[in-house]
Structure 1
Amino acid sequence: MKHTFLRWQHRLTRLTTAVGRLSAWLALFLVLGMVLVVALRYAFGIGNIALQESLTYLHGALFMLAIAYTLAEDEHVRVDVLYQRFSPRTRAWVNLLGTLFLLLPVCAALFWLSLDYVASSWREQEGSANGGLPFVYLLKSLLLVLPALLGIQGLADLLRHTLTLLGTPLAPPSAHPEDTL
């Protein structure tokens, strides 16, 4: 059983890690786009709504695609007043119960509540008014990708914390540099 848990935990985490690392490149394009917007506006007096909206799209995509990777690396903000003092086993219980009763239900609710909203946007092929980008429905689709990726990483974390409770503790992926893409 431990071997199966370990194999699935590794597969799920590799998926969210790969998406997170690829999405990190969006930050570079976001910075370059910002420089371009500022240069066009102040050096040449040119404003471009589509270019400005593309930066908003990139910003949203960056956060929505990288959130599961942040969870995989155990880098989300938490109040560590008591958590720091807990034993690894107690931390595993806290994380397991938090994932099971908070994270996964929130992911399911977010996915469920976003379905109609995203489907409506796709049906209408929603675009931006006033010369913006025509693909708003693609950005809204990330409202389904975010809880899916976060849920996948939540399942991986459930397996990781269960393995810790079974006596096989695993570190977050950043502790394993040989797994880099």
Structure 2
Amino acid sequence: MTPQNAATMSGTDKLPNRTRFLGWSILFVMFVFLANNFATYWGGLPGAGIDGGPLGLMQLGLYPLAIVFAFELVRQNAQTTLRQDSETISNMNAFFVRACFFIVLYIGIVDTVVSFLRVEQLLDDVVGTEMTKQLGRSQFRGVYIHFPLMILGVITAIRSRVLGVEWLALMVVVAELLIVFLRFIFSYEQAFMADLVRFWYGALFLFASAYTLMEEGHVRVDIFYAGFRNKTKGWVNAFGSLFMGIALCWTILIVGMGSKNSIINSPLLNFETTQSGFGLYVKYLMAGFLGVFAVSMMIQFISYLMAAVADYRGHEGKTIPEGAGAH
């Protein structure tokens, strides 16, 4: 056991547990923010604040309750190391990103089939006239087609340890090849084909950002950083995670979900679609991609913050992800 670990376990070094408390507090407050956002704009609650009466005060009270919960979690598990918490949070994020990948994969495939049958006027023969009319409404398709596929994506993520990015990347390539093949060989092109590629491309780049951060795959301009000692690198990473990464993610969430008409909430609430009536009905989900990006990156930055403080303190157990290196 190193002197740093011994100091941590004896309670003389308070920085690790304070960092754990800060990280878990940010994480739980973010969960409360998202829950309040859903309860306010989808559930009809008044929103957190004194103007909302008892329900508003209850929503507001969830924020200090989240901080108290984080404090108790750290106090009850005082012997847990920074690296253990960092790994726990990173694994949590890996599941979240994995579920999101499978969700967009399933929705893209099914919505493409529905749109193809509609544009070729074959849907009536498959599901009937009334159901065809309903599937032409974005609200109906979102609730009765997309939402069940979201549940299926989460179930797949629970049962599978494959991240999902590989499958999505493969399907993007397949979709592009089909578009080229159909366009230049059969002169066939429909709006839903381009919508599918945009839908999957957006998910591929935004969802994979947190995974890339987890694997140390982001480009780093190593003008000074490469020559730093491990302790200095830990300080730089901790500072960047807290004041640049987490701060940016909070900015995206607050600006994008701060009101009913915000850039993330508005499309989701209205099940917004493109002007093309026979395209994919997924534009509202693409607005939500920005929220997924902010949430997944914030979770990973919290994990990164804890690992960085562990590096700063010289704690043992540092793992170097496969493929990581100087970028």
State the TM-score, normalized to the length of structure 1: 0.89
1:82 and 2:216 are equivalent in the alignment: no
Question: What residue in structure 2 maps to residue 13 of structure 1?
Answer: 90
1:153 and 2:300 are equivalent in the alignment: yes
Which of 183, 186, 205 in structure 2 is aligned with 1:63?
205
Q: Decide whether the 8 Å contact of 1:16 with 1:72 is kept in 2.
A: no
Q: CA deviation at 1:154?
A: 0.3
Which of 34, 43, 47 in structure 1 is aligned with 2:185?
43
* Distance in 2 of aligned mates of 1:2 and 1:26: 40
The more displaced of 112-121 and 81-90 is 112-121
One-letter code of the match for 1:8? D
Which of 273, 291, 294 in structure 2 is aligned with 1:144?
291
Pairwise CA RMSD? 1.7
Question: What residue in structure 2 maps to residue 179 of structure 1?
Answer: none
Question: What residue in structure 2 maps to residue 127 of structure 1?
Answer: 273
Kindly name which structure, 1 or 2, has the bigger radius of gyration based on alpha carbons.
Answer: 2
Report Cα offsets for 1:54-101 as digits up to 9, x if no partner. Answer: 100100001111100111111111210111111111111111111111
Q: CA deviation at 1:167?
A: 2.1
- Bigger relative contact order, structure 1 or 2, given CA contacts below 8 A and separation 6+? 1
One-letter code of the match for 1:59? Y
1:174 and 2:322 are equivalent in the alignment: yes
Q: Structure 1: state its 5+ residue gaps.
A: 176-181
Q: Report how many aligned residue pairs link the two structures.
A: 175
Q: Which runs of at least 4 in structure 1 moved beyond 6 Å after TM superposition? A: none
The more displaced of 20-29 and 116-125 is 20-29
* Distance in 2 of aligned mates of 1:84 and 1:4: 26
* Distance in 2 of aligned mates of 1:99 and 1:6: 16
Q: CA deviation at 1:164?
A: 1.3
Which of 260, 264, 269 in structure 2 is aligned with 1:118?
264
Which of 162, 169, 193 in structure 2 is aligned with 1:27?
169
Q: Structure 2: state its 5+ residue gaps.
A: 1-77, 99-162
Q: Decide whether the 8 Å contact of 1:72 with 1:172 is kept in 2.
A: no
Q: Decide whether the 8 Å contact of 1:2 with 1:163 is kept in 2.
A: no
Q: CA deviation at 1:122?
A: 2.0
Q: CA deviation at 1:172?
A: 4.0
Q: Decide whether the 8 Å contact of 1:126 with 1:137 is kept in 2.
A: yes
* Distance in 2 of aligned mates of 1:91 and 1:154: 15
